[in-house]
Amino acid sequence: MRLLLILFTVLALIITAGLWIGQTIENDADQFSKHIDGIKDNITQGNWDLANAKIMELEEKWSQKGKWWPIVMDHQEIDNIQFSLAKVKEYIREKDKVQSLGELAELRLIFIHLPEKEAINLKNIL
């Protein structure tokens, strides 16, 4: 009986941790996505200096919040985010509107897709 109680407790802790991690990733991804929308608006309006400041801010937030993501996520997805951030920084620095907006759209899609991909649901288990 004691062993069953210990196993049940461990299972409950694992499920709780998984749900908490999933919710945290979803919240972070939503914040990153909103930040990207702000950068996109600045580029559309021609505010390149502000867009550059905002992309640096996004990169700083990513380095703070995203450092634990590789523990629970596929490293390829993390690499995709870092590559996309590097590209969009250069596009903004060079004031290339088309490339900047395209890369921001891709980066936003990555952030939106990650919580869905990492969610604990039947579709992802099967």
Query: Does residue 9 lie within any of the structural domains?
Result: no
Query: Does residue 16 lie within any of the structural domains?
Result: no
Query: Does residue 36 lie within any of the structural domains?
Result: yes
pLDDT in tens, 59-114: 999 988 878 877 777 788 888 999 999 999 999 999 999 999 999 999 999 999 88
What's the confidence (pLDDT) of residue 119? 61
pTM: 0.81
Number of domains within the chain: 1
Phi-psi region of 11 (alpha: psi -120 to 50; beta: other; left: phi over 0): alpha
Query: Does residue 5 lie within any of the structural domains?
Result: no
Query: Does residue 68 lie within any of the structural domains?
Result: yes
Long-range contact list for 33-37, CB < 8 A, 24+ apart? 33/108, 33/111, 33/112, 35/61, 36/104, 36/107, 36/108, 36/111, 37/108
pLDDT in tens, 110-126: 999 887 776 666 565 55
Residue type, 33: S
pLDDT in tens, 21-71: 888 888 999 999 999 999 999 999 999 999 999 999 999 999 888 788 777
Query: What is the spatial distance between Cα 98 and Cα 77, in angstroms, rounded to a whole number?
Result: 24
Question: Range of 115's domain?
Answer: 25-125
The closest alpha carbon to 97, from 45, 60, 57, 27, belongs to: 45
